[in-house]
Amino acid sequence: MCTSVLPVPHPYAVGQTPPAYREPEEAGTSDGAGDGAAARRRRRGEYLPLPEPLPVPVIDNHTHFDFREGAVEVTIGEALDAAAAAGVRGAVQVGTDLASSRFTAAVVEQDRRLLGAVALHPNEAPLLAAAGTLDDALTEIEQLAAGPRIRALGETGLDYFRTGEDGRGSQLASFRSHLDIARRLGRALQIHDREAHDDVVATLLSDTAPDRVVLHCFSGDAELARTCNEHGWYMSFAGTVTFKNAANLREALLVADPALVLTETDAPFLTPHPYRGRPNASYAVPYTVRAMAGILDTDLDALCARLTANTEAVYGSWD
């Protein structure tokens, strides 16, 4: 593995979009974010290069503009300009707590390329419950969700990776409240499911789920994909589908009903291979979509058109 780090000019400075497409540099033999070179790039906050634009525009249906990981501050307009240059014509900005949900409600009114989702993250809910403020926070989430450009409750769900047994009761109560708000307001539901597949499915089946349910950053296998097909739940594939150790996701993508497949970045997290360890951004969607086309052995134009049609079926029009 090459251990030298070449001086790379910062690709994503204020006032400029990343440089034109170039072949990915050799990433070494390790695909892990913990390898030395990737860790150094992460510390330096280097963005990944602008990919070759997609032939048909798509939409990033899950991103966080309020989380900044890059070394250079980028405005949302500049980030969306970079996305547009890569064939990513819009995004869903996603809230995770009250502050980011208020941020979301504000920014979707400022740029027509954005729609929004608001929620209390499943790891946030137990903290609010312990402080005695969960019910008040849910009331404000419902008020924010009524905005015309807020089209989903998300990200909500269950996370058994970060939340222990003692927080699961309030996490489930919060998830069920979001589900109820989404159904009453006619909004979609964006689900964060981390190591909690069975209980997410059981909750969706026991409560009356809203019409449009999205498993964001789909992390299941072919069996969960079949369950989603059966119930009409959307599966949103992130950069994780490109990871070398993610055969289960590729098998799930092959099983998934094409009418239920979406794509996202979850930026600044989950940067696709071979750029793991760098901050992710909406303009990086083409790396994931090209990988999906390869896995599906399908025409890239047709896949892009399908992804956009599916995304608008969930969230409505961006115009």
Which residues contact Zn ion (rule: CB under 5 A)?
A: 266
Query: Is residue 125 a contact partner of residue 136, using CB atoms and an 8 Å limit?
Result: no
Least Å distance between CB 107 and Zn ion?
A: 16
- How would you write 69-120 as a 3-class SS string? CCCCCCCHHHHHHHHHHCCEEEEEEECCCHHHHHHHHHHCCCCCCEEEEECC
What distance in Å separates the CA atoms of residue 145 and residue 237, rounded to the nearest whole number? 24
Least Å distance between CB 154 and Zn ion?
A: 8
Least Å distance between CB 178 and Zn ion?
A: 14
DSSP 192: E
Residue nearer to Zn ion on the CB measure, 142 or 155: 155
Residue nearer to Zn ion on the CB measure, 46 or 193: 193
Residue nearer to Zn ion on the CB measure, 37 or 175: 175
For 257, residues 6+ apart whose C-beta sits below 8 A from its C-beta are 228, 229
Query: Is residue 198 a contact partner of residue 170, using CB atoms and an 8 Å limit?
Result: no
Residue nearer to Zn ion on the CB measure, 61 or 203: 61
Residue nearer to Zn ion on the CB measure, 74 or 119: 119
Least Å distance between CB 29 and Zn ion?
A: 29
**Which CA distances in Å does 207 have to 8, 171, 213, 240?**
51, 15, 13, 29
Cis peptide bond prior to 274, omega within 30° of 0? yes
DSSP 130: H
Least Å distance between CB 238 and Zn ion?
A: 9
Least Å distance between CB 292 and Zn ion?
A: 19
Least Å distance between CB 228 and Zn ion?
A: 18
Residue nearer to Zn ion on the CB measure, 37 or 119: 119
Residue nearer to Zn ion on the CB measure, 17 or 66: 66
* Residue 136 one-letter amino acid: D
Residue nearer to Zn ion on the CB measure, 17 or 156: 156
Least Å distance between CB 315 and Zn ion?
A: 15
**Which CA distances in Å does 212 have to 141, 169, 172?**
18, 25, 19
Least Å distance between CB 216 and Zn ion?
A: 6
Which residue number places its CB atom closest to Zn ion?
266
Cis peptide bond prior to 73, omega within 30° of 0? no
Q: Which residues pair with 189 in a beta bridge?
A: 153, 213
Q: How far apart are the first and last CA of the chain?
A: 47
Residue nearer to Zn ion on the CB measure, 60 or 266: 266
Report the side by side order of strands in the sheet with 114-118. Answer: 58-63, 88-94, 114-118, 150-159, 188-194, 213-215, 234-237, 261-263
What distance in Å separates the CA atoms of residue 295 and residue 289, rounded to the nearest whole number? 10
